[in-house]
Structure 1
Amino acid sequence: MSPRRSYWHLEGFGRKPSRYEIVSSRLLYHPERGFAVSTPAGALHERFGRGSSITPVSWETFEDPRETTYSSYTKLQSGKETFVDGLFDLADETGELRRVPASWLAFVIRVVAPLRYPLHALQMIASYVGSMAPSGRITLTALFQAADELRRVQRIAQLTHRLHSEHTSLGGDDARTRWENDPIWQPMRELVERLLVTYDWAEAFVAMNLVMKPLFDGVFMMDVPIHAEAVAPSILRGFCFSLAEDARWHAEWSEQLAMLMNEKEANRRLMAMWVQAWTPRALHAVRAFAPLLDGDLLARREAAFSKSLERLDLPRPAGSRT
């Protein structure tokens, strides 16, 4: 009798499974059988993981459109990090950061530097979604997204440090004070703090990846560099381009998971309710920056957000632009 293959549960494919299928399938024990040892963490999973308001679907049929594995992720991100390191090296060689205008410096200190705080929150929420998800494939994608968010925190902190080194007149890094007190950041702070205490994993996923991130990522990773193009150094545009590539993948895998959830009408109604509840908060958070950004860019971003909901057969919330 020949030994059983490690991917015996995939033998029904009638072909040799791909590497992604092998390493991502049926990774989790507890969604089907519960935890072997009773702990407070197990009770949390039982209530907000298995006990989520979302109606279970065939979670194992979810597929990351990029088929990301640990090895493919590290290879891909290594190339992106080399690109961003090259931007910083070039800025050092050309003295680009020393020549930026005062108006752009003020914009960076007020808008770009504090970004690492909401991004850190997004990293925490993505980690939570991954830890509570009912399938190993969802867990993997969410945790790779969490790593992407941490990458953004690191790179923005690096840019801020370089600017403070080149422009000592800026004084100390007051990004935390701005995050906690600047009026333009308070709607965003309220949004992420509410998200951090949203414990149903499916609602946290919908609120973060289907509502907040399409607006947040679009505004800060795509629109801000366009708005600042005339005065901002190429380093900002270049590394925002690289970070926006990550955000596009987050949107792609989230759309795949949302369509899987949508297979059941009860889920579609529930997701529509969550979208209606979270959209006004997200719109309020990004609209707070309207005085600092090109109004046309913000309007187009909101219209793109509405179209993304339409693709998922979710109604456009009241107050959002078409």
Structure 2
Amino acid sequence: MTQTSPDTKKERSFPHPEFTDSEAGALTFPSSTSRSYNYYKPAKARATTYEDVTFDVQPDPERHLSQGWIYGFANTPGGYPQDWTRLVSSDWHQFRDPNEEWEKTIYRNNAAIVRQISLSLENAKRAKAYSHWNPAWTRFIERNLGAWMHAENGLGMHVFTAAQRSAPTNMINNAMAVNAAHKLRFAQDLALFNLDLAESDIDFDGKVHREVWQSDPVWQGVRENAERLTAIGDWGEALFATNVVFESLVGVLFRSDLLMQISARNGDYITPTIVGAGENDYSRDLGYSRALFSMLTRDAKHGDANKAVLGEWLSVWVPQSLHAAHELQPIWSQPNEKVVTFADSLAAAKDSFRSVLSDLDLEIPKELDQ
């Protein structure tokens, strides 16, 4: 029998790695030849924190998912189909939110607004500010500002919350999600204001707003307009019809061109603080909407087709919103101090709307001249 010498080492074998062209590293991506450290092209020379934490959080087959969408839902296409809107873009990823909203800014901005409104309400209680209101103004607030709370809540919950998942990029969906948060927070601000007034020492009916929203003829045009907006299936149309048309002709008309103009003359400095926060929200939300639709109307390949689609939507929603606006006319005569007329307020709203449409390179509807 042959013995192995203790100095002889036994050879050991190891599996050898074999490389083929099936690995992901061998595939060709849009940025395969890039020497940049960024996986996307920043809008400016340097990437912002907003872009770093928002861009491409949702992957896209056109950019990264070479195998196509890796998930889907029952009886629907996978991922985020681009045909969920009639609008078309050469590159949806060009959109950037001019507000640069991301998680930190959402909490920071809303916390500041909530703090501001809370302090205003506390100071109003301490100073017994509501006791200086005349009965006509008290009735105006309990009925009309309370009714508007339902419009804000409905749009936030059933338009923007529903639509914010449907756009083809995370950048657009993120902006719409913030829009939904704005609407819902503002509706809650109005609800808390209504509750404070109901618990104050003035004669204020904190429940009548529901009856006004459901039955008062003055508010049925607004209610119908808002409810029709919640039934839109195309996310692009929902955003355009709400932020560009309804808000310009109805929302701004009521909040900015009426309430913000007459509250102080009626001895009320609390309502402008609360409503002003809602107007600031809308200014930011209109900003991202204008950026998105401008990108689409100026698309080198699809711009004309997008303008045609937006023109169709204008023909549907402008008459609807103008009808809602005219139905509100009687409330301009309710306060004792009437600083502005309905005609002046509507003219201001129409001028702002024309400015938005001009910025989007869209034709001005003939209904605005009537």
TM-score by length of 2: 0.79
Aligned to 1:66: 99
Aligned to 2:3: none
Aligned to 1:4: none
Deviates more, 1:131-140 or 1:207-216: 207-216
Which of 118, 137, 156 aligns to 1:85? It is 118
- Contact 2:154–2:226 (8 Å) recurs in 1: yes
Which of 8, 20, 25 aligns to 2:55? It is 25
Q: Matches of residues 1-322 of structure 1 in structure 2 within 5 Å?
A: 8-10=38-40, 17-29=47-59, 32=62, 35-40=69-74, 42-43=76-77, 50-124=83-157, 125-167=159-201, 169-223=203-257, 224-262=259-297, 263=299, 264-293=303-332, 294-295=341-342, 296-321=344-369
Shift of 1:174: 2.4
- Contact 2:311–2:363 (8 Å) recurs in 1: yes
1:57-105 CA distances to partner (integer Å, 9 max, x unpaired)?
3111111112111102211222222211111111011000232111001
Secondary structure of the residue that 2:96 maps to in structure 1? coil
Shift of 1:40: 3.4
Q: Distance in 2 between matches of 1:97 and 1:202?
A: 42
- Contact 1:55–1:267 (8 Å) recurs in 2: yes
Secondary structure of the residue that 1:189 maps to in structure 2? helix
Shift of 1:144: 0.6
Q: Judging changes above 3 Å, is the alpha-carbon distance between structure 1 residues 252 and 172 closer, same or farther for their aligned structure 2 residues?
A: closer
Q: Distance in 2 between matches of 1:92 and 1:120?
A: 26
Q: Distance in 1 between matches of 2:366 and 2:233?
A: 25
Shift of 1:153: 0.6
Q: Which amino acid in structure 2 is aligned with residue 285 of structure 1? A: A
Structure 2 gap ranges (5+): 1-36, 333-340
What root-mean-square deviation, in Å, do the aligned CA atoms of Structure 1 and Structure 2 show?
A: 2.5
Q: Which amino acid in structure 1 is aligned with residue 197 of structure 2? A: L
Shift of 1:308: 1.6
Shift of 1:313: 1.2
Deviates more, 1:87-96 or 1:306-315: 306-315
1:201-258 CA distances to partner (integer Å, 9 max, x unpaired)?
1111111111111223312321222133311411101122222111111111111001
Structure 1 gap ranges (5+): 1-6
Q: Distance in 1 between matches of 2:249 and 2:78?
A: 30
Q: Which amino acid in structure 1 is aligned with residue 323 of structure 2? A: H
- Contact 1:110–1:178 (8 Å) recurs in 2: yes
Q: Judging changes above 3 Å, is the alpha-carbon distance between structure 1 residues 10 and 316 closer, same or farther for their aligned structure 2 residues?
A: same
TM-score by length of 1: 0.90
- Contact 1:50–1:134 (8 Å) recurs in 2: no
Q: Distance in 2 between matches of 1:31 and 1:154?
A: 39
1:157-199 CA distances to partner (integer Å, 9 max, x unpaired)?
1111111112564445122221111101111111111111100
Aligned to 2:28: none
Secondary structure of the residue that 1:68 maps to in structure 2? coil
Q: Distance in 2 between matches of 1:27 and 1:146?
A: 20
Q: Distance in 2 between matches of 1:41 and 1:281?
A: 33
Q: Distance in 2 between matches of 1:132 and 1:178?
A: 33
- Contact 1:84–1:238 (8 Å) recurs in 2: yes
Shift of 1:318: 2.1
Q: Judging changes above 3 Å, is the alpha-carbon distance between structure 1 residues 257 and 93 closer, same or farther for their aligned structure 2 residues?
A: same
Shift of 1:13: 8.2
Q: Judging changes above 3 Å, is the alpha-carbon distance between structure 1 residues 168 and 232 closer, same or farther for their aligned structure 2 residues?
A: closer
Give the structure with higher Rg (CA).
2
Q: Which amino acid in structure 2 is aligned with residue 63 of structure 1? A: R
